[in-house]
Amino acid sequence: MAADDGKKKISESTIQRLSLYYRVLSILEKENIKTISSKELAKHEKLTPAQVRKDLSFFGSFGTRGLGYPVTELKNRIATILGLDREWKVAMVGVGNIGSALVGYKEFQRHGFSINMIFDNDQRKIGSNHKGILVSDIANLKEGLRENNIDIVIIAVPATVAQYIVDDIVEAGVSGILNFAPINLKVPENVILRNENMSMELEHISFSLVNRESITATKE
Amino acid sequence: MAADDGKKKISESTIQRLSLYYRVLSILEKENIKTISSKELAKHEKLTPAQVRKDLSFFGSFGTRGLGYPVTELKNRIATILGLDREWKVAMVGVGNIGSALVGYKEFQRHGFSINMIFDNDQRKIGSNHKGILVSDIANLKEGLRENNIDIVIIAVPATVAQYIVDDIVEAGVSGILNFAPINLKVPENVILRNENMSMELEHISFSLVNRESITATKE
DNA sequence: CGGACTATGTGAATTCATTCACAAGTTACT
DNA sequence: AGTAACTTGTGAATGAATTCACATAGTCCG
């Protein structure tokens, strides 16, 4: 069971699916369901049972043959794997439309991400209170992040300035960044950068609708 | 049905990357750059030149050997492929934190997605104006979507009610749905459903940070 | 106009991810 | 205790996506 130090390469998609499992398991736990099979779990997220088992097997063997997986325990194990068993200190840079919405997004808190700093460059916002958090001047970004030991920064600023801000964040020693600006940012390779591009999903829908039309045209 | 005319199967990730190319090309066009090689294009999004060429080759051959791709033309071609050369009528369901932010999100407009209906169930919001759009009663969802020929609906409601709303949307004949609620929704297979799960990316960062620690610990 | 470059487009090779299939462990029931 | 029914965990097989490598086709410049 302690086969941890072997550097297995876990695929991106496996990690994404762990998030999904975690979500489902949380719901099942609330419904007081004690045990779930890979088959059932798979059905909840439209995956195959084999995939569920393979994903989990990268991290250990959590199930009982003939029975399935213990819901609460598996949920907790996944929480540990994903690092959700701790509180992450998060800062938001930019409280425009998106930034402001994310500060109030309950789902983040629920998973252990607590946003407790906000930065902006708008003089009208600086010093004001946003959902109980004081908005700091972005001029103090670097020191602010350092002094508060921020783990992760969420960037919700215009694409044009995002790179400058990232540079500061990196200099401040933060090594997890979630970027909402629609641009590809450069960071040193020891920094984890993930991008959230909301237009992309809409464009995917658009693509699918257009390509589906040939089928629709021939009538159902 | 009829349309099995040797249709190439385009992978999810190719489509995602087309969005990225589109984004880069738009910027290049503004910078008045006329031509770009697969190598340069790849560099902008940290991909390989071969991947860029392969992706594009699924849709035709747009480049000139020895020179590269014509920026504006390629951009327009991709727009056509992705269906961004038209105006999509979008409705937002739920104007809480997230919904409200997305209604004001400029990036959507820029890509041809114009949100021109909003639905909510909160009496205090119904009838009010949100960034110039009248908030309608969600009780009228089905008729509203039909009457206004909505193409795509964005769901930003609590997970607990999301499925009911999706059922209505589907019944209204809408066949593109972007879901922000953290739950897996069921739709008929002719409906395009995509999910945007913002916690997922944060959890990915969290995972990477935790797993990086072992490396950081042993290395330098 | 010709030769040196440059860069595409694409089958073939390779790498990576998913699914299959089955031995092995566990339960439930008689 | 024996057996039928489940379900995991995992190598092996399959399938998908990425990268390689090169023939092909154009550019550029003296």
What is the sign, positive or negative, of the torsion defined by CA atoms of A168, A170, A171, A174? Answer: positive
For residue A206 the two structure tokens come to: 């658009």
CB contact under 8 A, A45 and B184: yes
Q: What is the pLDDT of residue A7?
A: 57
Residue B219 has pLDDT above 90, yes or no: no
Strand C–CB B136 distance below 7 A: no
The reply to whether residue A210 touches residue B83, judged by beta carbons under 8 angstroms, is yes
Nearest to B147 by CA among B110, B119, B183: B119
Rounded mean pLDDT, B133-152: 98
Region of A48 on the Ramachandran plot (φ > 0 left; ψ -120 to 50 alpha; else beta): beta
Q: What is the pLDDT of residue B4?
A: 39
Q: CA-CA distances (angstroms) from residue B93 to B117, B157, B186? A: 8, 7, 17
Q: How far is it, in rounded angstroms, from Cα A69 to Cα A71?
A: 6
CA torsion through residues B206, B212, B214, B220, sign: negative
- Residue of B182, B128, B137, B173 whose CA lies nearest to B155: B182
Task: Spell out the domains of chain A, with CATH numbers in brackets.
Answer: 12-82 (1.10.10.10), 88-199 (3.40.50.720)
Query: What stretch of H or E contains A152?
Result: strand A152-155
Which residues does residue B130 pair with via DSSP β-bridges, in sequence order?
B133
A65 CB contact with strand C at below 7 Å:
yes
Residue of A nearest to B112 (CA): A203
pLDDT of B7 higher than 70: no
pLDDT at position A216: 52
Q: How many CA atoms lie within 13 A of B89 on its CB side?
A: 12
Mutation target vs A (from B17, B205, B210, B212; most A CBs, 10 A cutoff): B205
The CA distance from B92 to B104, in Å, is 11
Give the strand pairing for B35-36 and B69-70.
Answer: antiparallel
Chain B residues near residue A202 by CB distance under 8 angstroms: 90, 108, 111, 113, 152, 154, 178, 194
**C1' (C28) to CA (A57) span, angstroms:** 27
Widest CA span in chain B: 64
Averaged confidence pLDDT in chain B: 93
Residue B8 confidence class, pLDDT cut points 50, 70, 90: low
Chain A hits for B102, Cβ within 8 Å: 97, 101, 198
pLDDT of residue B214: 57
Mean pLDDT value across residues B115-142: 97
Is B1's pLDDT higher than 50?
A: no
Positions of chain A with pLDDT lower than 50, given as ranges: 1-6, 218-220
Q: Is the Cα dihedral A161, A91, A191, A155 positive or negative?
A: negative
Residue type (1 letter), A14? T
Residue appearing with tokens 């989990």:
A56
Beta bridge partners of B114: B89
pLDDT value at position A215? 55
A36, two tokens: 């779930």
Task: Fill in the amino acid letter for A38.
Answer: S
Residue of B nearest to A191 (CA): B209
Residue B121 has pLDDT above 50, yes or no: yes
- Residue B6: the pLDDT is 47
Interval B21-72: pLDDT, tens: 999 999 999 999 999 999 999 999 999 999 999 999 999 999 999 999 999 9
* pLDDT at residue A9, rounded to an integer: 86
Length B65 CA → C9 C1' (Å): 9
Q: Please report how many Cα atoms fall inside a 13 Å half-sphere around the Cα of residue A137, on the Cβ side.
A: 3
Q: Are strands A152-155 and B88-93 parallel, antiparallel or unpaired?
A: unpaired
Helix (H) or strand (E) holding B155: strand B152-155
B149: number of CA atoms within 13 Å, CB side? 2
Beta strand A69-70 pairing with A35-36: antiparallel
> What is the number of H-type helices and E-type strands within chain B?
9, 9
Q: What is the pLDDT of residues B81-110, one digit of tens each?
A: 999 999 999 999 999 999 999 999 999 999
- Contact between residue A187 and residue A166 where contact means Cβ atoms under 8 Å apart: yes
A38 CA to C30 C1' distance (Å): 29
**What is the amino acid identity at position A173?**
G
- Helix, strand, coil shares of chain B, percent, nearest 5, are 45, 20, 35
**H or E segment at B60?**
none
Does the pLDDT at position B2 exceed 60? no
Which residues are A155's β-sheet partners? A93, A179
